[in-house]
Amino acid sequence: AKSDDDTDGITICELSAHRKVTVRSFKGKVFVDIREFYNKDGKELPGKKGISLSIDQWEVLRDNIEEIDRAVKESD
């Protein structure tokens, strides 16, 4: 459902103890955020390290998963 409300988003997965992939809405647009979080007063807050992808950008990443995976395996 479309919404103009900003949201903290939903956490899809944790890449490590402090890195998460979240999907969130901001000004009516959806972003995939791959980001490091830090703990402050018991709250997990988003840090500077990370990148927020628009849907278009996410789709390019998604469509290149296999090619990235191949490059990772060839580089290892």
Q: Does 41 bind a copy of itself (CB under 8 A)?
A: no
**Residue type at 21 in one-letter notation:** V
* DSSP label at residue 18: T
Q: How far is 33 from 47, CA to CA, in rounded Å?
A: 11
Closest CB to a copy of itself among residues 2, 40: 2
Interface pick for a copy of itself out of 4, 5, 10, 39 (rule CB under 8 A): 10
The answer to whether the CB of 55 falls within 8 A of the CB of 62 is: no
Q: Does 13 bind a copy of itself (CB under 8 A)?
A: yes
Q: Does 35 bind a copy of itself (CB under 8 A)?
A: yes
